[in-house]
Structure 1
């Protein structure tokens, strides 16, 4: 995210909405998308755009996270209507006729099949496609499935150029023909998805808000340079980097809004109404999603009516109270958490570790593989002050990265405590006393514009330096959102502050993400973390943490499952794998003329289709 440094007046010279216009909606938010490729995007800024441009087969019904309604499918599969068969392993989706993509191409069942298969075969590192691999095939990635099928590690299947070695080429073709293609089939007007085993959250994983299950136009995708749909070419597209994707900064679906422009200099996305939308056309005719990182600018835009809703800094929420033209909606339920994470094996290319040595001017790359180093950070956060003064009470402490509202949450589990003596004591134990003796220096990063995360980073710096004067030097690094994400994915940040919004309302989505060696955050936490959680341990009955997480995910008895999650969380807390800071309560601020909004914790942002403006 680019910090707004232009003069305040210049911002408003760029705003043309100086009078009330019921057809135009301006959302002043923080930052900008990471990518618009639905199969790589895994952040809420990207997800909000994709939610409004693309559509899925089904959608959540109203505020519910367990009831669904049709979208591009004409029916939601159930056992009762005969569209779930084979004991929960076969799902049949009748595809809606008469739907057109934004370019006029008709939606076909083949588009649905292509969309799922392209995503599964692409499966970029750090992306969301692991969910579909796990739901459909019971593995966590394309590479895991490929290695299982071929019987060789991926490193031996491909040469340095990314091409398959001659002896494995036919195996790769067969992998598509025998594994991927049979799982998603077209039969007449239906698309049939076959799971390897029953998987309860499957419909949640593909419902609207899950951009990884959005439906693309096959013909256009191929013309743009995505996978050509052939079984003997798929590997040529599997390592496409973020900026190389033809969908990186462009989107075209069947949804209620058409993508017009992504102005990178202004962090501004422009959408217009799809007047040929198969439901009724949207009431809003133009939507601007504008990344304005400066709070005072966003606030002024809302007060003047130049923005219809804004990302609010809770620390300054009281500045908006008493304005009769502004509506504040408080205590919105969420399924999200904010956590401080550690990289146990930092990328040697990192510029955030000083010298990279334990010499007083840096930290070694595996510094946070020491539990006392992690516990020192955990004790340096004034949690209660953060929630009281920064979040203004709109958050609560949680023992682990599992939010309240999901199976397994236990409020009796111990919480990390703010304690300067503990900071010092843990630093004196870290690295057998060498960390305190020689001193340490490193950086803590956060995404620019996110004041709550900024305050967390500042607390870590202030209290660790205060607890060990002259022994600790910490730099607080604000980074633009895409830069921040890339740095975490490359494993460059020793300490990072990230949130997680539920992909689907199940404890496995949080526990697996944060604590499993193949979870989405595992690469960000490094190889030593992955080794730690995948190694069998006496305190876990000879099982690894990975084993317990997988056992809990597969368990069908809720009581047994809850006990497993309790065991997992006790181990996580004892070893301070990461530091859960808070679960937020949502707050929305908007002009009183905004109508139609309601909350759903699964949405990545606004659903502009349900909104309209009326004085």
Structure 2
């Protein structure tokens, strides 16, 4: 689920000004240049093991603690070498991808990192196939072999996006000595080769990162330590920000705290704001298993005909997000208006006819799951109210803590669920293949031969601009089948005190969370 985000640095807005919505003035807290930079977030961490994690909070830590063969420079849409010295496709057929490791790489415990560890890591992820892991992102891998310092990947079908896919958490390298081949590592132990080591970890509370002096890669670490503090709700994060308990805030304050940030006056009151273009999206995912009423296309189409995105963006999200009518957000190559073309505005009568023509009894009763701690209650209540106002649906809302939510959602525990999406890499494929391929990350049972063929067609285009028409055709097919309904896209906001530099590089379209780019300025 990623797309070209080359515009992130150029189009983003970096402001220094008053945050009227936050209602406080932040200033120097006396911290020195070597003190940990305190970063607050509402992200949840599912697992510290790369084979068991495919969510923003987990990948944020994994990207700091583990190396991949490749990585992304800030604002760049093309991967660069990290643990690898060189990486290339062996031919234009895009079936074989080969990387040679840098020499002298070691894990944080001092043991050598070898090509055998790289092979072990990929095979392990696919073998474990955790329901909360990134195995679906590696589904095209036929085989991976090591010979000396060289790793060779053989792909099932041509895939120009393979380098992008292995540049993130799915390509994280783990040690054969500390990770078992067939089961996830539990506890808070981490053995990686990334820019940081994990000095301390309290799940749901803090992660203490210290610079890994053994790291040999492309990333430049601009601080000695970072402490990530986790908050159960956006309101709690906002309180910590107002109380000067944090140096940086990233994902997510309450919507009201983002209102007016773009209009903040420059150079006042010691607060910096970075507003990047919206690469994060949110959608309504349907369970297509036979046991769910959403297995009927007419029921999904009827729901799509009713949902009012404008109202959700305005009332539930206070105009801090924009309605989305495509799998691919605006600003990303391949974006279209397929869902708008089919469902231009809410039309309950069209929904009623769809259900009547299909012989569906109404009201259709279904369960709607959502993350209980993510600040989504108001949005879910409004979404359910829109559907129930037509008398065509009866919705049972099910808030579930994030730690259990993804497992239940991916196992078919709800008839529908809402979920946000952050890109894995800067390419439209990250929003498409991961959402609607037969191996999609939602595991919702959707499979379309037409969509599979079009996805393979996009992946065979080494010139990514040449895949635009196929991406738009996928959008049209998905707007017809409605396995998922895009709702909105949001800007990516980062707030910091005026002594913190590098916040413009923390988040971009690559999906990385670059805490190593943060620095503390001195007089």
Regarding TM over 0.5, the answer is yes
Cα separation, 2, equivalents of 1:215 and 1:106: 12
1:515 aligns to 2:459 (yes or no): no
Give secondary structure in 1 for the equivalent of 2:503.
coil
Relative to structure 1, the CA distance from residue 291 to residue 418 in structure 2 (aligned partners, 3 Å threshold; closer, same or farther) is: farther
TM-score when normalising by structure 1: 0.70
- Alignment-derived partner of residue 177 in structure 1: none
Cα separation, 1, equivalents of 2:210 and 2:499: 20
- Alignment-derived partner of residue 211 in structure 1: 169
- Alignment-derived partner of residue 202 in structure 1: 162
Give secondary structure in 2 for the equivalent of 1:220.
coil
Give secondary structure in 1 for the equivalent of 2:438.
coil
Which runs of structure 2 are paired with 1:78-117 in the superposition (5 Å)? 78=88, 84=90, 88-117=94-123
Relative to structure 1, the CA distance from residue 77 to residue 477 in structure 2 (aligned partners, 3 Å threshold; closer, same or farther) is: same
- Alignment-derived partner of residue 344 in structure 1: 288
- Given candidates 125, 128, 153, the residue that maps to 1:122 is 128
- Does the aligned pair in 2 maintain the 1:36–1:50 contact within 8 Å? yes
Cα separation, 2, equivalents of 1:342 and 1:194: 33
1:50 aligns to 2:50 (yes or no): no
Larger helix percent: 1
Which whole-Å deviations, capped at 9, do the CAs of 1:234-258 have from their partners, x for residues lacking one? xxx2xx4xxxx22564322111211
Cα separation, 1, equivalents of 2:479 and 2:394: 26
Cα separation, 2, equivalents of 1:29 and 1:108: 34
- Given candidates 321, 341, 351, the residue that maps to 1:414 is 341
- Alignment-derived partner of residue 141 in structure 1: none
- Alignment-derived partner of residue 150 in structure 2: 190
**RMSD (Å) for aligned C-alpha atoms:** 3.2
Which whole-Å deviations, capped at 9, do the CAs of 1:116-175 have from their partners, x for residues lacking one? 3323333334532233341x43xxxxxxxxxxxxxxxxxxxxxxxxxxxxxxxxxxxxxx
By how many angstroms is 1:586 displaced?
A: 1.6
Cα separation, 2, equivalents of 1:455 and 1:418: 22
- Does the aligned pair in 2 maintain the 1:395–1:582 contact within 8 Å? yes
- Alignment-derived partner of residue 386 in structure 2: 463
- Alignment-derived partner of residue 162 in structure 1: none
- Does the aligned pair in 1 maintain the 2:131–2:407 contact within 8 Å? no
By how many angstroms is 1:587 displaced?
A: 1.7
- Alignment-derived partner of residue 212 in structure 2: 274
Which whole-Å deviations, capped at 9, do the CAs of 1:192-224 have from their partners, x for residues lacking one? 4444665322221222xx112111122222xxx
1:262 aligns to 2:239 (yes or no): no
How many positions carry a matched residue from both structures?
Answer: 485
Cα separation, 1, equivalents of 2:159 and 2:68: 19
Which runs of structure 2 are paired with 1:308-347 in the superposition (5 Å)? 308-310=247-249, 311-318=252-259, 324-330=269-275, 332-345=276-289
- Does the aligned pair in 2 maintain the 1:423–1:464 contact within 8 Å? no
By how many angstroms is 1:487 displaced?
A: 0.8
Which runs of structure 2 are paired with 1:555-570 in the superposition (5 Å)? 561-570=467-476
- Does the aligned pair in 2 maintain the 1:26–1:289 contact within 8 Å? yes
- Which stretch of structure 1 is more off in the superposition, 34-43 or 304-313? 304-313
- Given candidates 406, 410, 417, the residue that maps to 1:485 is 406
- Alignment-derived partner of residue 63 in structure 1: 75
Relative to structure 1, the CA distance from residue 458 to residue 258 in structure 2 (aligned partners, 3 Å threshold; closer, same or farther) is: same
- Does the aligned pair in 1 maintain the 2:83–2:216 contact within 8 Å? no
Cα separation, 1, equivalents of 2:260 and 2:215: 40
1:246 aligns to 2:185 (yes or no): yes
- Does the aligned pair in 2 maintain the 1:45–1:605 contact within 8 Å? no
Which whole-Å deviations, capped at 9, do the CAs of 1:6-54 have from their partners, x for residues lacking one? xxxxxxxxxxx97535421222211421112112211111000001001
Give secondary structure in 2 for the equivalent of 1:601.
coil
- Given candidates 77, 83, 91, the residue that maps to 1:72 is 83
Give secondary structure in 1 for the equivalent of 2:495.
strand
- Alignment-derived partner of residue 240 in structure 2: 301
- Does the aligned pair in 1 maintain the 2:367–2:396 contact within 8 Å? yes
- Alignment-derived partner of residue 150 in structure 1: none
Cα separation, 2, equivalents of 1:213 and 1:333: 26
Structure 2 gaps, min length 5: 1-27
Which whole-Å deviations, capped at 9, do the CAs of 1:546-598 have from their partners, x for residues lacking one? 33443444466878744433333223223333211122222222222211233
- Alignment-derived partner of residue 375 in structure 1: 301
1:497 aligns to 2:418 (yes or no): yes
Q: Which has the higher contact order (CA 8 A, sep 6+)?
A: 2
Structure 1 gaps, min length 5: 1-16, 138-179, 228-236, 347-364, 535-543
- Given candidates 452, 456, 464, the residue that maps to 1:546 is 452
- Given candidates 12, 15, 20, the residue that maps to 2:31 is 20
Cα separation, 1, equivalents of 2:43 and 2:52: 18
Give secondary structure in 2 for the equivalent of 1:396.
strand
Which of the two has higher C-alpha Rg? Answer: 1
Larger strand percent: 2
- Given candidates 430, 446, 454, the residue that maps to 2:377 is 454
- Does the aligned pair in 2 maintain the 1:269–1:288 contact within 8 Å? yes
By how many angstroms is 1:298 displaced?
A: 1.7
Relative to structure 1, the CA distance from residue 113 to residue 461 in structure 2 (aligned partners, 3 Å threshold; closer, same or farther) is: closer
Relative to structure 1, the CA distance from residue 545 to residue 283 in structure 2 (aligned partners, 3 Å threshold; closer, same or farther) is: closer
